[in-house]
Structure 1
Amino acid sequence: MGRRALLGAALLLGLLALAAARDYYDLLQVPRSANDAQIKRAYRKLALKMHPDKVQGSEEEKKAAAQKFADVSHAYEVLTDPEKRKVYDRYGEDGLKQMGGGGRGGGGGDPFASFFSNFGFGGFGFGQQEEEAPKGNNVVVELEVTLRDLYLGGHFKLVRDKNVVKPAPGTRKCNCKQKVVTKQIGPGMYQQYTTQVCEDCPNVQYVREPETLTVHVEPGMPDGHTITFFEEGEPIVDGEHGDLHVVLRTLPHPHFERRGEGLMYNATISLLEALVGFEREIEHLDGHKVQIGTRGVTRPGEVRWFQGEGMPQFEKTTRGDMWVTFDVSFPREVSEEQRAELRRLFGGNAELQRQQRDEL
């Protein structure tokens, strides 16, 4: 193999590795332009929600939650370190490994513990609380996806107009606080009252600007699942942005119907196929073929079970099952000659007559 071919193969492998890597900004659900304050707030919210101590379920689910929490913690550790973030933005995880910063899941310790150490968080026993800042309104956006999208997963671009705080001429009152004032109104007599004290800050205004976000849909996410982008909602002056909640809405599929982690498929066969058997395959959501034929008799409304052919189970490695329901298409008319032949074939079939009586 020539040098050019080797370089091409190396480049292809690098691109494949990069495509398979999880994006640290996606993990923390923040834009690539996020500052340290946004990253810290996003991590704190995710860590409170995802910490393994709060996860209930099977050992497999706890193990998956622990791994996801470790990934989020590592992403936070990298993006809050200016040098590591610069390397990651330019070279990805491979660049971090070469500089000795470790790839995904690397790093030492649990940044969650040190992050909250100043707020009296022992495990999850809350002590002193951080003062809440004013927060803008949350925004809810519905994203229409196909059943195939939820089966395979993928990235989707979401474009929306949002309010952005921009500088404006003049000044405004800001950082207003209530101050207790004591005033002497006579010999030995004092009066206390509260007054509002404000600072003068540069003026601002709201401007509508378009924004493009990348929504990462994981395989098996259910209909109605909410993906949260922290601080991507409505802004508020001298406070935190609200959050953006993207709700998944599944478009109907012409053949498949989702039932939780299972799939339902309806197949129509002819009367002849129902009696003598048939061979048929259906195309699944990812394009692979599933054989649904049989050599036996198929009754109208019969349901057959296909294990492991359902939807991926969200945040698991297993899949649900698929059920195929069969409808039998009967002929609209039967000629006298056909009637006679049918009587000859089935008229003396005692077993068939018994089954027909049982069904009545």
Structure 2
Amino acid sequence: MAHQRSKLLFFCILSCYVIVITAKSYYEILQVPKGASDEQIKRAYRKLALKYHPDKNQGNEEANKRFAEINNAYEVLSDGEKRSIYDRYGEEGLKQHAASGGGRGGGMNIQDIFSSFFGGGPMEEEEKIAKGDDVTVELDVTLEDLYMGGSLKVWREKNVIKPAAGKRQCNCRNEVYHRQIGPGMFQQMTEQVCEQCPNVKYEREGYFITVDIEKGMQDGQEVVFYEDGEQKIDGEGGDLKFHIRTAPHDVFTREGNDLRTTVTITLVQALVGFEKTIKHLDDHLVDISSKGITKPKEVRKFKETIALPDDADGFQRREKNWN
């Protein structure tokens, strides 16, 4: 009976986990804020579509799945009517809208979306656009958040481009022309031609960014916010990258997917045995014990018996090292 309850708990937790994964919003899939402009959405789509395109990820089923998600999200967010419905009513609203005959009916398939954005033929490389500097931040994350998942609010300050009085030269390019300097003789000339654009200036702004921490993230992994780095006039912003770094913990240290801690016992306990209880990172209690002699600095492994699903990206082992 207890075994059945354990299995029931396993499947219940697993079902909830799947629901959370599939509920990822279209904005999260494209890695843009909800108030992103059409241009931000296009740029984010271009980067992600090129990164996860099947031509660059042959045989990678996860990349193919991401590519489909990216195109589905872009189809909705690039359409003003669909995006408005999605913002107000979510995916269920889009389904009802389609069922009532609204929209274009049927939508576009993945290849149509990619081809309409990049053009036909073989996959093109990303066009070269002037880009601001990337900003990299070392982000200390607690073992609790790395074990259970969580989110951190980080204060961010950066230079933001704002309108200013006057005009300026912009979109400058070199144009080549030929000038006749004698009978049958021509000279090739190059002239820089610029447009007149509204003037701009940099202003310092600050705001909070929410960084989502996935279960089991390793040191050095990145969480990227596209175009949230240094801004570039007549170009696109660099990227803001958070490098995950495990913060020191009072009780545990992490080694791969194992947790280690030091337990102090008395001389009598070292000779005849001991029983102790340790609070885990999620506050559940772990009972450890030993019968007989325990040597100094001896490493022992104790199995946990909690009914939790193994997470491929998390702390996979049910056995934890206690030193």
TM-score, normalization by structure 1: 0.72
Q: Pick the aligned partner of 1:23 from 22, 25, 31.
A: 25
Q: Pick the aligned partner of 1:132 from 128, 132, 142.
A: 128
Matched with 2:282 is 286
Q: Pick the aligned partner of 1:319 from 285, 295, 316.
A: 316
Matched with 1:114 is 113
Q: Distance in 2 between matches of 1:214 and 1:179?
A: 46
What is the CA distance between 1:86 and its match in structure 2? 1.6
Q: State the SS of the aligned residue for 2:163.
A: strand
Pair 286,169 (structure 1): closer, same or farther in 2 beyond 3 Å: same
Q: Distance in 2 between matches of 1:238 and 1:68?
A: 30
- The amino acid across from 1:22 in the alignment is K
Q: Distance in 1 between matches of 2:315 and 2:244?
A: 22
What is the CA distance between 1:232 and its match in structure 2? 0.8
Q: Distance in 2 between matches of 1:313 and 1:130?
A: 38
- 1:213-228 alignment, distance < 5 Å: 213-228=209-224
Q: Pick the aligned partner of 1:83 from 72, 81, 98.
A: 81
Q: State the SS of the aligned residue for 1:266.
A: coil
Q: Pick the aligned partner of 2:259 from 233, 245, 263.
A: 263
- 1:9-158 alignment, distance < 5 Å: 21-51=23-53, 65-100=63-98, 111=110, 114-116=113-115, 118-119=118-119, 122=122, 126=123, 128-158=124-154
Pair 131,24 (structure 1): closer, same or farther in 2 beyond 3 Å: closer
Q: Distance in 2 between matches of 1:55 and 1:317?
A: 24
Pair 230,264 (structure 1): closer, same or farther in 2 beyond 3 Å: same
Query: 1:83-117: per-residue Cα shift (whole Å, max 9, x none)?
Result: 2322222233343344348xxxxx98763663146
- The amino acid across from 1:115 in the alignment is F
Q: Which runs of 5+ in 2 are unaligned?
A: 1-18, 100-105
TM-score, normalization by structure 2: 0.79
Work out whether residues 217 and 313 of structure 2, in 8 Å CA contact, stay in contact via their aligned partners in 1.
Answer: no
Range moving further from structure 2, 83-92 or 62-71 = 62-71
Q: State the SS of the aligned residue for 2:233.
A: coil
Q: State the SS of the aligned residue for 1:269.
A: coil
Q: Distance in 2 between matches of 1:305 and 1:108?
A: 55
Query: 1:54-109: per-residue Cα shift (whole Å, max 9, x none)?
Result: 5599xxxx5555544444443333322322322222233343344348xxxxx987
Work out whether residues 64 and 315 of structure 1, in 8 Å CA contact, stay in contact via their aligned partners in 2.
Answer: no
Q: State the SS of the aligned residue for 1:131.
A: coil
Is 1:244 the counterpart of 2:240? The answer is yes
Q: Distance in 1 between matches of 2:252 and 2:75?
A: 43
What is the CA distance between 1:181 and its match in structure 2? 2.0
Query: 1:317-353: per-residue Cα shift (whole Å, max 9, x none)?
Result: 761341011xxxxxxxxxxxxxxxxxxxxxxxxxxxx
Pair 167,315 (structure 1): closer, same or farther in 2 beyond 3 Å: farther
- The amino acid across from 1:32 in the alignment is K
Q: Distance in 1 between matches of 2:158 and 2:296?
A: 54
Work out whether residues 286 and 304 of structure 2, in 8 Å CA contact, stay in contact via their aligned partners in 1.
Answer: no
What is the CA distance between 1:302 and its match in structure 2? 2.0
Q: Pick the aligned partner of 2:161 from 155, 165, 174.
A: 165
What is the CA distance between 1:231 and its match in structure 2? 0.8
Pair 130,49 (structure 1): closer, same or farther in 2 beyond 3 Å: closer
- The amino acid across from 1:243 in the alignment is D
Matched with 1:198 is 194
Q: Distance in 2 between matches of 1:314 and 1:142?
A: 25
- The amino acid across from 1:151 in the alignment is Y
Pair 130,253 (structure 1): closer, same or farther in 2 beyond 3 Å: closer
- The amino acid across from 2:153 in the alignment is K
Task: Choose 1 or 2 for highest CA Rg.
Answer: 1
Pair 87,256 (structure 1): closer, same or farther in 2 beyond 3 Å: same
Q: State the SS of the aligned residue for 2:275.
A: coil
Across the aligned residues of Structure 1 and Structure 2, the Cα RMSD in angstroms comes to 3.2
Report the count of equivalent residues: 295
What is the CA distance between 1:299 and its match in structure 2? 2.3
What is the CA distance between 1:19 and its match in structure 2? 11
Query: 1:267-287: per-residue Cα shift (whole Å, max 9, x none)?
Result: 111122222222212111111
Q: Distance in 1 between matches of 2:297 and 2:315?
A: 28
